[in-house]
Amino acid sequence: MNPILRPAPLPPAMAAGVDPGRAALRVTHDPTTLVGNTPLLRLAAIDRELSGVEIYAKAEWWNPRGSVKYRAALNMILAGERSGALTRETILLDATSGNTGIAYAWIAAARGYRVRLALPASASPERKRILRAYGVDLVITDPGDGTDGAIRKVKELYAANPAAYFYPDQYSNPANWRAHYEGTAPEIWAQTEGRVTHFVAGLGTSGTFCGTTRRLRELNPALFAASFQPDSPFHGLEGMKHMPTAIVPAIYDPTLADENLDIPTEEAYAMVKRLAREEGLLVGVSAGAALAATLSLAQRVGRGVFVTVFPDSADKYLSESFWNED
């Protein structure tokens, strides 16, 4: 069976006697238990023009507060709690383009921690409003410097008073990529019933690509893994890095990719609108880039089961001007 849409399974004790129409409903005292087990969507309208190709995407907006970054943020916070570095007395400090920061903010609010984040001024207005709604102390950095400017600012703040902060450093923390090694990859393997032949993911922190690829390669050494990045230093793909000109994350391993694709911002925008109009999916800009990269690879290869990751939905990008363009 091809898993077009597979919700997170219920524990047997909860599933027993539950009406099938309500089987996806859950009761929990801890919303962080809802992170992960996102559906895998078959992009049937997109891939029908390619004979012998199946294209699937992980719908990561099904995570609480709506992005793939909840996997890594939760894993880094749990690691900080276990080590004792994160306490009620310390302030969680990190650089973000928005989604990881929102994930930190949500989890921290639920667990009683304070959060301070450096964020480029170029981040979408929706992201800034969400972070402020959670009570985050925002340090806004130069938009021209992107996330690299935010990283430099955070390092400066941490160096000035390290005892005041828990600094998970999402760009260097192995708990980031391990969230995908332990969660995203096994989900993809189970949802495709081991049929996945190609995996495609973007480079920001690189945690999604590196962690998922490592585990899928253990399960299938013949897996073809393709990463993608913006095609220039100046781009509109929030959260993504142009590695040749950016501060390269310590967790990034370029040897994992069989191929690295360069995606223009305009192509990503076009794919966002195509997904809305052909698949009924309102997704974020990086998801548009993911589809562009996956289609490019699938068209060249001609056959296979291609899986990519749609990091978030469009709700944080609706103010972008490209929606108004034909």
* Domain architecture of the chain: domains with CATH: 12-63+177-324 (3.40.50.1100), 69-166 (3.40.50.1100)
21 has pLDDT over 60: no
Query: Which of the residues 69, 128, 153, 241 is marked catalytic?
Result: 69
Q: Is 58 a catalytic residue?
A: no
Instruction: Give residue 322's pLDDT band: very low, low, confident or very high (50, 70, 90).
Output: confident
5 has pLDDT over 70: no
Mean pLDDT of 120-124: 89
Per-residue pLDDT tens over the stretch 175-227: 999 999 999 999 999 999 999 999 999 999 999 999 999 999 999 999 999 99
17 has pLDDT over 80: no
Q: What pLDDT is attached to residue 286?
A: 95
Residue with the bigger pLDDT between 288 and 25: it is 288
Q: What pLDDT is attached to residue 27?
A: 78
Q: Are 100 and 94 in contact (CB under 8 A)?
A: yes
Neighbours of 218 (CB within 10 A): 12
Per-residue pLDDT tens over the stretch 124-160: 888 899 999 999 999 999 998 988 999 999 999 999 9
Helices 69-83, 99-111: inter-axial angle, 10-degree rounding:
50
14 has pLDDT over 60: no
Instruction: Give residue 38's pLDDT band: very low, low, confident or very high (50, 70, 90).
Output: very high
Q: What pLDDT is attached to residue 26?
A: 65
**Residue labelled with tokens 């609480």:** 64
Q: Is 153 a catalytic residue?
A: no
Whole-model pTM: value is: 0.89
Query: Which of the residues 67, 122, 206, 286 is marked catalytic?
Result: 286
Mean pLDDT of 9-15: 38
Lowest mean pLDDT among 21-30, 57-66, 132-141, 274-283: 21-30
Phi-psi region of 198 (alpha: psi -120 to 50; beta: other; left: phi over 0): beta
Instruction: Express as a percent the part of the chain with pLDDT over 70.
Output: 92
Q: What pLDDT is attached to residue 19?
A: 41
Secondary structure percentages of the chain, helix, strand, coil, to 5: 45, 15, 35
252 Cβ partners below 8 Å, 6+ apart? Answer: 203, 205, 206, 210, 243
d(CA 153, CA 150): 5
d(CA 182, CA 177): 9
Q: What pLDDT is attached to residue 4?
A: 41
In the chain the first and final C-alpha atoms are separated, in Å, by 38
Per-residue pLDDT tens over the stretch 234-278: 898 988 999 999 999 999 999 999 999 999 999 999 999 999 999
